[in-house]
């Protein structure tokens, strides 16, 4: 619900349990007042004017007023505010200073054109006019009755007769009244994505940023601020995220007066946007949230919101259990080998077979063929038809791998259209491939047509991959003055292709991937119900990756496979049961040669699939609780609880077996203290209160990387 108090000129934005307040001050600036538990009072007294030397007063304001000391809703450059601005534009005369003043507001539709966005809610538009130019800025705020997430975005319009250039237009900016703050970011690298990193926020700024043309393995568009002694289970914290998949930045700055400015949007490292008269620019959407139940409460708030308002509708349906041939065959496969894999998968109860890289063009290695999305008939005699027919005979779905954003120099597409490649020669090379220019509509049209031809053959599942980042940021189709627009236009092209394919093939299940988890973000979840969490399928490493990913995303978004050992990424050997248990915390699948499994392992696969189907509603709709932190000790443990608190599923791992070990316990969370839950390992029932306060003893591990699972059911 949104209310406006005309007397105090205060806006009250109310979510499920939170309020967000800001007002229009006497000079026309937007001042942030409050973000936290529900509030109905006039809180304008919190923004008392304060004079500081070297904090200038803007034109028309009183001598004790400075933008440098005011908590603002959308900071600008110049006029006395020396903090990091959310908005920076250059006029034709070269001036960059701006003053955004309130001119009105209205209720409007949510969403942003041609980009992923949150669905539903009530949206407020605030109209601001730059007192120093003909630019107008609109700030959008969307609130939801069922969530404590507030969605923000902005648009900029040129209402003058001269050109202007945007150098920065953030999705949001807010100044918080806090000082004792720790920042939590998700960082890493390929095969080690979303590792949590906690850093005290001193004076100055701290950021998480990608300039790679993708959200990336190295950074993730999520930032949390923990206040005071807040931890996993208790205390106040704020969360900030972007519904965007390209280059981004989220930054927090502590000022001289201990105000915390947080802002975020498209990374401005190589960004500019030309605004001709009457042109408009829209930012991506951002998500800001508050929790008084620690980082765990914040994660559950974000997960519920993403499932309810951002993720595509397929995210709510039962997931395919996949057999992917990649680690079984790599590029070296024949039709008989694939047919044998399909038969093995069907015998084990797997319902989807996915043919990965190597089926198209001249693709027999990673040095050729990308862009030629037609079947390699020499390699697959009869094309895909025999494979699809065998899948149908066995009651399975046939799936296929694409990497539509890339092109090999050794390909028919590159020879025909070298100008469709991003950048100018000489280009940096990565994995023997270049990036296609998705800022060009003709490139998107070509790829839609090529992929459409394949999908119409009877494909029911698509894995969309992206195996390198952008290293050049120029397009032959853009004039020199607009090259700074390329990265964002590229992302708009990716979204356009995903939108068209989803509309044309509503029954096809799409999974996102980028060398594993290199584009694991809310923007991709708008189109893809799940994302390949990491190329690293090692059970020990995957436990840590899933732990970090759960900070910002629901378990239902994670695609998790059982693979062979020694593991192809780490060389480590872990028990087959452990690989299955860790994979059960997301959409389960298999990435190994099923024909090489022992009879005991095959029976284990059947059991793992049956278990997954029994707990799938928990993973799709339940709340996750992080119990034992694998980054701070020898144990990993996560729990997922159903919405009605009648069922709980727990997965744990002991990383290293210890000599002369002693009993340890874990206390569960999220249960109904009054209900009694049957505990199979004890063959007795305990109250939710006992399970949460006294806990359960961990099983003693006889070997490294042993796991355990508990499925607790409430008694009638």
**In sequence order, what are the residues at sequence separation of 6 or more whose Cβ sits closer than 8 angstroms to the Cβ of residue 168?**
85, 86, 87, 88, 265, 268, 271
CA–CA distance, 537 with 560 (Å, rounded to integer): 8
Label the pairing between strands 181-189 and 273-275. Answer: unpaired
Query: Helix (H) and strand (E) counts for the chain?
Result: 12, 39
Contact in structure between 474 and 422 (CB atoms under 8 Å): yes
Instruction: Name residue 248's beta-bridge partners.
Output: 210, 266
Q: Which of 617, 621, 579 is nearest to 709 (CA)?
A: 579
CA–CA distance, 673 with 487 (Å, rounded to integer): 51
Q: Residue 240: which H helix or E strand, with range? A: strand 237-243
Q: Residue 273: which H helix or E strand, with range? A: strand 273-275
Burial of 48 (0-12, 13-18, 19+ CB in 10 A): exposed
> Which residue out of 437, 535, 581, 623 is catalytically annotated?
535
For this structure, is 535 an active site residue?
Answer: yes
Token pair in block for residue 707 = 């796991």
Cα–Cα–Cα angle for 330, 467, 170, rounded to 5 degrees? 155
Token pair in block for residue 14 = 């109310």
Token pair in block for residue 258 = 């201990």
Q: Which of 281, 269, 246, 83 is nearest to 165 (CA)?
A: 281
Buried b (16+ CB within 10 A) or exposed e, 671-697: bbeebbbebeeeeebbbbebbbeeebe
CA–CA distance, 447 with 456 (Å, rounded to integer): 14
Contact in structure between 362 and 372 (CB atoms under 8 Å): yes
Q: Which of 435, 406, 423, 420 is nearest to 473 (CA)?
A: 423
Q: Report H helices in 400-471.
A: 412-416, 441-455
Q: Report H helices in 394-485.
A: 412-416, 441-455
Q: How many CB atoms lie within 10 A of CB 179?
A: 15
- For residue 90, the number of C-alpha atoms closer than 13 Å in the C-beta half-sphere is 11
CA–CA distance, 451 with 404 (Å, rounded to integer): 8
- For the chain, how long is the longest CA-to-CA vector? 83
Task: Give the position of tokens 């070990």.
Answer: 661
Q: Which of 678, 679, 666, 688 is nearest to 716 (CA)?
A: 678
> Which residue out of 465, 538, 581, 623 is catalytically annotated?
465
Token pair in block for residue 706 = 């042993």
Catalytically active residues, by annotation: 465, 535
């Amino acid at each position: 619900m949104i209310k406006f108090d005309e007397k105090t000129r205060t806006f009250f934005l109310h979510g499920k349990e939170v309020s967000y307040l800001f007002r229009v001050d006497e000079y026309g600036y937007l001042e942030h007042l409050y973000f936290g538990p529900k509030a109905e009072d006039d809180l304008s007294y919190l923004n008392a004017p304060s004079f500081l030397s070297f904090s200038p007063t803007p034109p028309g304001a009183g001598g004790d007023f400075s933008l440098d000391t005011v908590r603002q809703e959308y900071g600008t450059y110049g006029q006395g505010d020396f903090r990091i601005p959310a908005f920076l534009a250059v006029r034709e005369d070269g001036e960059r200073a701006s003053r955004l003043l309130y001119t009105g507001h209205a209720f409007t539709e949510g969403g942003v054109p041609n980009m992923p966005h949150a669905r539903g809610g009530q949206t407020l538009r605030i109209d601001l006019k730059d007192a120093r130019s003909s630019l107008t800025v609109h700030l959008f705020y969307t609130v939801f009755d069922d969530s404590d997430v507030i969605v923000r975005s902005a648009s900029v319009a040129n209402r003058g007769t001269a050109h202007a250039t945007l150098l920065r237009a953030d999705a949001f900016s807010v100044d918080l009244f806090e000082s004792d703050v720790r920042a939590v970011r998700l960082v890493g690298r390929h095969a080690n994505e979303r590792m949590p990193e906690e850093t005290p926020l001193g004076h100055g700024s701290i950021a998480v940023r990608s300039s790679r043309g993708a959200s990336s393995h190295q950074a993730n568009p999520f930032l949390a601020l923990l206040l005071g002694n807040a931890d996993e289970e208790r205390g106040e914290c704020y969360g900030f995220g972007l519904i965007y998949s390209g280059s981004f930045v989220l930054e927090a700055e502590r000022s001289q007066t201990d105000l915390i400015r947080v802002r975020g949007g498209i990374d401005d490292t190589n960004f500019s946007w030309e605004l001709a008269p009457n042109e408009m620019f829209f930012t991506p959407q951002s998500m800001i949230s508050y929790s008084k139940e620690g980082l765990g409460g914040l994660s559950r708030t974000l997960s519920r919101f993403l499932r309810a308002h951002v993720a595509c509708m397929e995210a709510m349906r039962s997931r395919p259990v996949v057999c992917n041939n990649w680690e079984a065959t790599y590029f070296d496969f024949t039709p008989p080998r694939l047919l044998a894999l399909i038969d093995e998968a069907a015998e084990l109860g797997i319902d989807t077979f996915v043919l990965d890289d190597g089926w198209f063009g001249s693709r027999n290695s990673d040095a050729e063929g990308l862009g030629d999305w037609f079947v390699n008939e020499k390699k697959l005699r009869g094309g895909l038809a025999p494979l699809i027919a065998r899948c149908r005979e066995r009651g399975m779905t046939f799936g296929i791998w694409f990497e539509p954003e890339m092109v090999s120099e050794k390909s028919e597409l590159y020879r025909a259209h070298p100008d469709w490649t991003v950048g100018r020669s000489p280009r940096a090379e990565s994995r023997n491939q270049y990036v296609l220019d998705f800022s060009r509509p003709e490139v998107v049209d070509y790829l839609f047509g090529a992929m459409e031809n394949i999908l119409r053959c009877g494909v029911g599942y698509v894995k969309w991959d992206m195996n390198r980042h952008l290293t050049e940021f120029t397009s032959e189709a853009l004039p020199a003055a607009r090259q700074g627009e390329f990265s964002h236009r590229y992302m708009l092209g990716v979204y356009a292709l995903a939108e068209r394919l989803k509309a044309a093939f509503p029954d096809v299940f799409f999974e996102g991937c980028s060398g594993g988890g290199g584009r694991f973000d809310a923007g991709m979840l708008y189109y893809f119900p799940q994302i390949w969490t990491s190329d690293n399928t090692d059970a020990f490493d995957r436990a840590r990756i899933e732990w970090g990913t759960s900070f910002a995303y629901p378990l239902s978004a994670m695609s998790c496979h059982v693979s062979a050992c020694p593991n192809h990424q780490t060389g480590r050997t872990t028990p087959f049961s452990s690989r299955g248990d860790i994979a059960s915390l997301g959409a389960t699948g298999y990435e190994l040669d099923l024909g090489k499994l022992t009879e005991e392992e095959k029976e284990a696969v059947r059991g793992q699939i049956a278990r997954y189907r029994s707990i799938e509603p928990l993973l799709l709709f339940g709340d996750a609780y992080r119990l034992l932190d694998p980054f701070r000790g020898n144990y990993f443990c996560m729990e997922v609880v159903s919405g009605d608190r009648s069922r709980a599923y727990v997965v744990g791992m002991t990383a290293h077996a210890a000599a002369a070990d002693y009993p340890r316990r874990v206390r569960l969370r999220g249960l109904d203290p009054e209900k009694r839950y049957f505990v199979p390992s004890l063959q007795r029932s305990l109250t939710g209160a006992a399970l949460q306060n006294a806990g359960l003893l961990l099983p003693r591990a006889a070997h490294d990387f042993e796991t355990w699972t508990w499925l607790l059911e409430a008694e009638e």
